[in-house]
Chains A and B, each alone.
Chain A
Amino acid sequence: MLLVSQVMLWVAVIALAVAVLALARQVGVLHERIAPVGALALGRGPQTGESAPRLTVRTLAGGTVEIGAPVPEAPLRLLFFVSPTCPICKSLLPTAKAFAQSERLDLLLIGDGDADQQRQMAERHAIALERFANAPEVGRAFQVAKLPYAVLISAAGVIVAQGLVNSREHLESLVTAYELGLRSVQEYLAKRPSHSA
């Protein structure tokens, strides 16, 4: 008798524990759904709409590239901040490359750290060394605190969109924000008509 009642009690306890686990997971899923599907602007450093800081950087190939200078009729330039020690950067690199090609963006990767590791990273993902600069000063100028971070700069040298990117959807949101004339996903969410009525 004792054995039977013990079995029933444990079944009840385990069922309750599993129910708590399921509820906690469900709340987590809800949080995921609310998460913005756009690049998250971090609100520090040069803001969208302002001129980009002007810098000249040396690429891994040895040449120099000027950032922030107005170049009439140049394509939009996408600065993509990466690091060899950031796993998401590596998985996002092929996406960024394909995205830049399809949107006809001028992709420039900005690294911060060991030049040899970055060269390996560029080789592994078949990125031209002229498109990759090891320049910590750029990250400082744009006050990039989290990676992978992307900044879209217009031909006039103005920052048209920027933010933390984790997926192709986030990268696309930068170009969409530019086309819609919005500054960030936060601004989009704020302007979105409420459906609560």
Chain B
Amino acid sequence: MTVDPAIALAGRLLGVLVFAAAVGGKIKHRHELAGVVANYRLLPERLAAPAAWMIVGLESLVVLSLATGLWPAAGAALAVTLLAGFALAMGVNLARGRREIDCGCFQSGLRRRLSAALVARNLLLAILLLPLLAAGAGGASALQWVDGLGAGLAAYALYLALGEIISLRHSSAELRRRFA
């Protein structure tokens, strides 16, 4: 099955923007990074810092691969694996009842607690990137470039909006409790 070049372009742009923002956020908050990873309590404490930097390295590889189009299938597979891995890590901690820990999204200055919605958002993103695994190297027409880049940018803006709405849900629940 071949994937329309417009869909592949949209997925690549979305992946590049999401992972580049993730790398940027983690580097900006590098002092908290190991602490956040350690709070997930999935690894021995001394492995938290190396694991944190390994995640940053792998995310950078995803950005490079998707931006340049080198080994796009490998880049996409890595991206999907990382997203599924984060979803699993959050799921395990939700199952343990540790929903108060910071998710480590670093998208705004705010801490963001774990929630099932965040797990779902990660899985949705992984599904959106799946077509890249089967993308061929076919050239795209001008119209396909316009469609691909437009859809990629719009999807990224909607992804950010979704993140905001997920954290709004929590803060409005807190407000309701306070003024009840």
A residues near B (Cβ < 8 Å) are: 2-3, 6-7, 9-11, 13-14, 17-18, 20-21, 24-25, 27-28, 31-32, 34, 36, 85, 87, 90, 146, 186
Contact = CB atoms under 8 A, between A and B. Distances in A.
Q: Identify whether the interface residues of A are mostly helix, strand, loop, or mixed.
A: helix
A36 B179 CA distance: 11
Q: Is the interface of B mostly helix, strand, loop or mixed?
A: helix
Contact of B143 (A2, A17, A24): A2
Contacts of A3: 142-143, 146
Contacts of A31: 168, 171-172, 175
A32 B178 CA distance: 13
Given A21-B157, A31-B175, A87-B32, A10 B102 contact: no
A25 B162 CA distance: 11
B52 to A, nearest CB: 13
Contacts of B25: none
B123 interface: no
Contacts of A186: 178
Interface of B: 32, 35-36, 38-39, 100, 102, 108, 110, 142-143, 146-147, 149-151, 153-154, 157-158, 160-161, 164-165, 167-168, 171-172, 175, 178
Contacts of A25: 164
A6 B148 CA distance: 11
Given A14-B157, A17-B157, A21-B160, A28 B146 contact: no
A14 B153 contact: yes
Contacts of B142: 3
A20 B167 contact: no
A6 B147 contact: yes
Nearest to A7: B146
Given A28-B108, A28-B168, A87-B32, 13 more contacts: A3-B146, A6-B143, A6-B150, A10-B147, A13-B154, A14-B150, A17-B154, A21-B161, A24-B168, A25-B164, A28-B164, A31-B172, A36-B178
B146 A24 contact: no
21 contacts: A3-B142, A3-B143, A6-B146, A6-B147, A7-B146, A7-B150, A14-B150, A20-B161, A21-B157, A21-B164, A24-B168, A27-B168, A28-B108, A28-B164, A28-B167, A28-B171, A31-B172, A87-B32, A87-B39, A90-B35, A186-B178
A7 to B, nearest CB: 6
